[in-house]
Chains A and B, each alone.
Chain A
């Protein structure tokens, strides 16, 4: 926003920025400083802020004690896949609910949002059973009945495969868990796009579907990027399902992995701070670069009607 600011506004902006930046970064900076300290310093009273003897051995410990690099790979695979799949599905749904004249739009939106109204803890056991391998509710009894009635070529049951300890055990629920918010974000964004853009394209001879891909998609990028960031972070940081579904060490994700450095009665702050820093910084860097680039590219082109 290229506006001329009065001096008061400028000072307010600077002070506000400083406070808010401090608010956001202080804990992470503190974590980073802690991760560079020797354990000696952590129990001193009064506490020290800057490390007296900075050391990198906590970071070494992070990777030596547990396969943290594997955890990061797992988290990355799960998060990226969930994001891509979820954004695609949500974009389609968002377009339908945001721009097309659909009947019962509000009811459909409410229905979609309904699925995020249950805490993950409550859905844990039913989801676990599903991924463990269970008889498909309607199909299995039907098939079994048919088998008993004489159709011996029919199997006696239809079970879902055992997906635990695979990436799918996490990707599938994460897509479903993030779908409501992604859909809602994209719906509201698609609504904002002026009709003229579409009308111009339609007048030029595009079909609706072509208009969707050629005109709307590029222009809705801020919404798509935001939705993608939210889905990515939600999937990366999800804890309950990741803890209980992927239990072999080689399949664990980062948030779960970080809690594995602690013991029942021991909390190695230095190691855990290092683990948190390693787990969070790449995430932040990635998102920052992603958001910056797309938005910069877009505002250069202009979202003007």
Chain B
């Protein structure tokens, strides 16, 4: 009798175990597993039929991408949900590496209504030809950070044009007399961020990398003007000569050490500047944020960033995975990410949310920048396009190529990348 009972008990346990769907979420080391972990645990508590575990990957975008490439090329369903950079959905869509999410909505109209609350920038990257491939986790953009104390000292308002910025930087540098003080810092190394360095200058000159007909337009007066501006920053001395080795992190550190007046950097830098950082800050409370300047008569523009949740099409549990995705993209989860991890929200409604504003009042000033953030080229061949833009840009900053040569190389490279 006891044996039968035990047998039934074991069967029941097994059955309940089998009835539970096991899902695995993959995030990178820098995406705050300490914040996402509790979120997922709460999901587990609310949904007893699903058990979600998460795996923490490498700490840089490249290492994570290498791992995901390996897993997805092998068609492994090991991971069910993963976080991908905003530049990837088009590539994943083309390779069939992200499950289309339209099927989980009642209709396309319902889907568009659902997406209303999200910022337009991330959606532009995730919605390709009417098919949704990922949902935004959080967003990002490049901002102009400046030393509010120095600007105030010399009676300047945040610059709205590049010429104003140059004038202010020169004045401050000369007046302060500190040889270590840089006027204007940005990224020029052979990294992804340099694509943004170029595109932002191009956009604020009124140009774009492609025209309405779809031809690549990189050898244009606007592009030349953008590169001429960067030439100017180097020639006038407001930017360091070794700009070709300045990475995002280095750029952030130099500003944080108090050695820079203006810097172009991503949203994460704000928390670092205010003190929540691995290195001490010399600029806490002295930093202002503004949209990027532009050339006279043109609008400001900035590059979009951020990460998106996507479902592995080789997974065996795409329906259960969708429930997790929905949960993670919900306003509540996004609020947690915004408050605890200082991730810039991807939902418009959260910018008025009292909890969010209490934890991160600077998000209010971020909003005006983020709403106008533009996507880098949305193409399945983004890796090649990115290389085609940033390698000549890096060579230009290293004084290996002149502006015209760099632009021609970019043009040729991007055309080759898209010519399949």
- Complex Cα distance, B76 from A128, in Å, reads 10
> Is B180's CB under 8 angstroms from A264's CB?
no
User: A40 near B: Cβ within 8 Å?
Assistant: yes
Query: Beyond A39-B278, A43-B279, A265-B248, is A247–B55 a contact (Cβ under 8 Å)?
Result: yes
Query: Beyond A40-B280, A244-B66, is A263–B59 a contact (Cβ under 8 Å)?
Result: yes
Question: Taking the nearest CB of chain A, how far is it from the CB of B86, in angstroms?
Answer: 13
A-side interface size class: 20 to 34
Other than A243-B67, A265-B30, give 19 A-B pairs with Cβ distance below 8 A: A39-B279, A39-B280, A43-B257, A45-B180, A45-B257, A125-B70, A129-B74, A243-B63, A243-B66, A244-B66, A244-B67, A259-B58, A261-B59, A264-B60, A264-B61, A264-B248, A265-B268, A267-B278, A271-B278
User: A124 near B: Cβ within 8 Å?
Assistant: yes
User: A262 near B: Cβ within 8 Å?
Assistant: yes
Nearest 5 A-B pairs (CB), nearest first?
A263-B30, A268-B278, A264-B30, A43-B257, A129-B74
Which residues on B sit within 8 Å (CB–CB) of A266?
30, 249, 272, 277-278
Question: Taking the nearest CB of chain B, how far is it from the CB of A137, in angstroms?
Answer: 16
Which residues on A sit within 8 Å (CB–CB) of B56?
249, 260
Of A39, A132, A244, A260, which is within 8 A of B29 by CB? A260
- Complex Cα distance, B259 from A45, in Å, reads 10
Question: Taking the nearest CB of chain B, how far is it from the CB of A159, in angstroms?
Answer: 13
Of B57, B58, B266, B280, which is within 8 A of A265 by CB? B266
- Complex Cα distance, B272 from A43, in Å, reads 14
Question: Taking the nearest CB of chain A, how far is it from the CB of B177, in angstroms?
Answer: 16
Which residues on A sit within 8 Å (CB–CB) of B374?
none
- For window 209-264 of chain A, which residues contact chain B by CB distance below 8 Å? 243-244, 247-249, 256, 259-264
Which residues on A sit within 8 Å (CB–CB) of B257?
43, 45
> Is A125's CB under 8 angstroms from B59's CB?
no
- For window 53-86 of chain B, which residues contact chain A by CB distance below 8 Å? 55-61, 63, 66-67, 69-71, 73-74, 76, 78
- For window 161-181 of chain B, which residues contact chain A by CB distance below 8 Å? 180
Which residues on A sit within 8 Å (CB–CB) of B280?
39-40, 43
Q: Find the A residue at minimum CB distance from B53.
A: A248
User: B293 near A: Cβ within 8 Å?
Assistant: no
Of A39, A124, A248, which is within 8 A of B55 by CB? A248
> Is B29's CB under 8 angstroms from A125's CB?
no
User: B376 near A: Cβ within 8 Å?
Assistant: no
User: B253 near A: Cβ within 8 Å?
Assistant: yes
Q: Find the B residue at minimum CB distance from A252.
A: B56
- Complex Cα distance, B67 from A14, in Å, reads 49
User: B28 near A: Cβ within 8 Å?
Assistant: yes
Q: Find the B residue at minimum CB distance from A270.
A: B278
User: A287 near B: Cβ within 8 Å?
Assistant: no
User: A158 near B: Cβ within 8 Å?
Assistant: no
Question: Taking the nearest CB of chain A, how far is it from the CB of B302, in angstroms?
Answer: 17
Q: Find the A residue at minimum CB distance from B63.
A: A243
Which residues on B sit within 8 Å (CB–CB) of A271?
278
User: A201 near B: Cβ within 8 Å?
Assistant: no
Question: Taking the nearest CB of chain A, how far is it from the CB of B141, in angstroms?
Answer: 14
> Is B59's CB under 8 angstroms from A42's CB?
no
Q: Find the A residue at minimum CB distance from B257.
A: A43
- For window 3-53 of chain B, which residues contact chain A by CB distance below 8 Å? 28-30
> Is B74's CB under 8 angstroms from A260's CB?
no
26 contacts between A and B (CB under 8 A): A40-B280, A43-B257, A43-B280, A45-B180, A125-B69, A125-B70, A125-B73, A129-B74, A132-B78, A164-B78, A244-B67, A249-B56, A259-B60, A259-B63, A260-B58, A260-B59, A261-B59, A262-B59, A264-B60, A264-B61, A264-B248, A265-B248, A265-B268, A265-B269, A266-B249, A271-B278
